[in-house]
Structure 1
Amino acid sequence: MRIATFTHRGRTRCGLVQDHVVRPLPDGVGPLDVPHDVRTGVPIPLADVRLLAPFQPPTVRDFVAFEEHVEGVRRSVDGRSGVPDAWYDAPAFYFTNPYAVIGPHDDVPMPPGCHAFDFELEVAAVIGSPGRDLTPSRARQHIAGYLIMNDWSARDLQSREMQVNLGPAKGKDTATTLGPWLVTADELEPYRDAEGFLSLGLTVSVNGTEIGRDLLSNMGWPFEELVAYASRGTWVRPGDVLGSGTCGNGGCLAELWGLRGEQSPPPLKPGDVVEIAVEGIGSIRNTVVPGAAPVPIPRARPRPRSRPA
């Protein structure tokens, strides 16, 4: 099933997407609890609805599971080349802002103070049932489905922040696109290869010009292993989103900047349209628009090292 959240004639609902229509679900049925024998209402043309993010996740973990991406973007962000040995030890991730989630066709504001704005082409798994300390084989049963994720990034802000060995913070804080709908895990099983990876074609374009193309199966770990690692010593719960991290071969601009030694293609600017397509899932399309000016924050004040008597 493909489960969307949409607005139509002032009403927000969930529905099943089939061909070029969406079939509304009964009130109270959300995208993570749709029974297979659910009854649907009168179909509505997709062209007549506004698609929203399929749901508002309680948490968003974003992994860095593509070796090729690490090779390129590391040089662009922190000036170092190669892949850290620690990358191979375990699937690293960071928590990003669930309040920043936007829909598949929403405008994306420039982050305040950003002059090097970037997209990131990713796929995300969505947790459907709670689990803790899962094995990879058990983890597969806890994945409800998949969707496209664009982890928009302010590269100049990110680069400065990470010099203090924290972050990214404001470098990733403005927008994360999720959509266009949730594709249930069973729908993508035909794409699973012999090693357990989902072999989906990925493409991204800016203003109609293709920038990147890759396969999701180039991940260093399959999603089941990402979920198992995320659940180590803690819970994953329904609605949690786990991003694959950015793919290689042009999955973001910063990777290309690092490889080429210059900002080519240039950073995103207001008016640019970024479209991402993923085989078996669909496509999302966002337009960059002007953002707010940064509210000034003073530099840290030098303080004496005095102590209580």
Structure 2
Amino acid sequence: MTELRLPAGERAGRAVVRSTDLLAGLVALLVVLHFATPGLFDAPVVLAWSTVFVAVCLQALPFLVLGVALSAAISTLVPASFFARALPRRPALAVPVAGVAGVVLPGCECASVPVAGSLVRRGVTPAAALAFLLAAPAINPVVLVATAVAFPGQPEMVAARFAASLGVALVMGWLWTLAGRAEWFRLARPVPSAPGAGRAAVFRDTMQHDLVHAGGFLVVGGAAAATLGVLVPRSWLEQVAASPVLAVLVLAGLAVVLAICSEADAFVAASLTSFSLTARLVFLVVGPAVDVKLIALQAGTFGRGFALRFAPATLLVAVGVAVLVGEVLL
């Protein structure tokens, strides 16, 4: 297997907006608003926004660091021949193996994105890497235990989440083998290291580069989640819960915009008692597969073209599979 490289048609002089540029712009805007409009940050809506923003970022940051560290370890310490031996050569068979491998990583979606990017760089077929990306944050033991705690006495909810989330990972992986194109990826080039640098130095440089790169997009995604989250009134949710179709669509939309970490989303879903179990299952399946911060992280890791194609397809598949599993198991 060969390493995936950037397309050759990219213009050398083309201006590129980096995640750190977006972060610097956001910080500058907040500083200007602080001095231009005294008292603005004491308003209730601003306090609510800041609470959600900080919560999203603090929830995700430890797992992002875990994912970046694992990504750097894969890039610098694990030989490429390992993946050739561990995964079947045929993408259709590699997808389920990679999907089931997601059980062993106790992290959230923020951790899975840099790991999946590193796997592709190391020669793993993109279909298998994407299956791992979707499965890891949704079927690992930490998430399943949290779901069991949030829904006591309802083991069918844990089974339904596992089956639906793994189903989404497999379907999207197999769809990539049928319709995916390598040119949709815009992976950043590996971090250059000094000649003769040891593995520890290469690991450190790679982790530092990836953390700054992905962290900026996490902040931007967290800001988007906070902005959208404070605009959704809770009373409106109660009115639409009575309609099965609207309930599914609304909770799918909320999962996308609220961007709750997969280790915590079960407790939020359990609190939405006016909604059916199937609608709440949709919330639990969609969230770790596609949300605003995850889309931002995918755009920063794989390129905007990939994210614009992958996110809508994943949303449709996640809703469909969750509803189907919910009707059977719940």
TM-score, length basis structure 2: 0.28
TM-score, length basis structure 1: 0.29
Higher helix share: 2
